[in-house]
Structure 1
Amino acid sequence: MLETVGLTAAEGDVYRLLIIAGAASAEEIAGRCDLSAPVVRRLLLALETKGLAYEVEDSPGWFEAVPPEDALLPRLQRRSDDLEQTRVAVLDLVETYRRSARTPGAGEAIEIISGAAALRQRLRQFQDGTRHEMLWFCKAGYVAMSPESNEEQFAAHARGVLYRALYEQAYFDDPGAVDNVVKGVLVGEVARAVPKLPLRMGIADRSLAVLTLNSADAPGNPRDLRAAVVRRSSLLEALIALFEHYWEVGAPLRVTEEGRIGGADPADPAAPVGEDRHLLSLMVAGMTDEAIAGQLHVSKRTVQRRIQGLMNLAGVVTRMQLGWHAARRDWL
Structure 2
Amino acid sequence: MFTVNKSRSPETPGRPCETEVALYRWVAENGRMDAALAARELGLTMAELESAVTSLTDLGLLRPESDDPAMLRPVNPDLVAAVVTTSIESAIRTQQAELHTIREHFANLRDHYRKSVSRLPVLGIEILPGPQEVRAALTMASQQCAHEVLACQPGGSRSPEVLQEALPRDTAMLARGVRIRTLYHHTARFNGPSQEYVATLSARGAEYRTRHQLFGRLIVFDRALAFIPQAGDTWGAVVIREPSTVSYLCDMFEQEWSQATPFSNAAADGLDLVAKDIDRTILRLLAAGMKDATIARRIGMSLRTARRHIADIMETLGAESRFQAGVLAARQGLLDEEPQHSASVD
TM-score, length-scaled by structure 2: 0.43
Q: Give 1 or 2 for the bigger CA radius of gyration.
A: 2
- In terms of fraction of residues, the more strand-rich structure is 1
TM-score, length-scaled by structure 1: 0.45
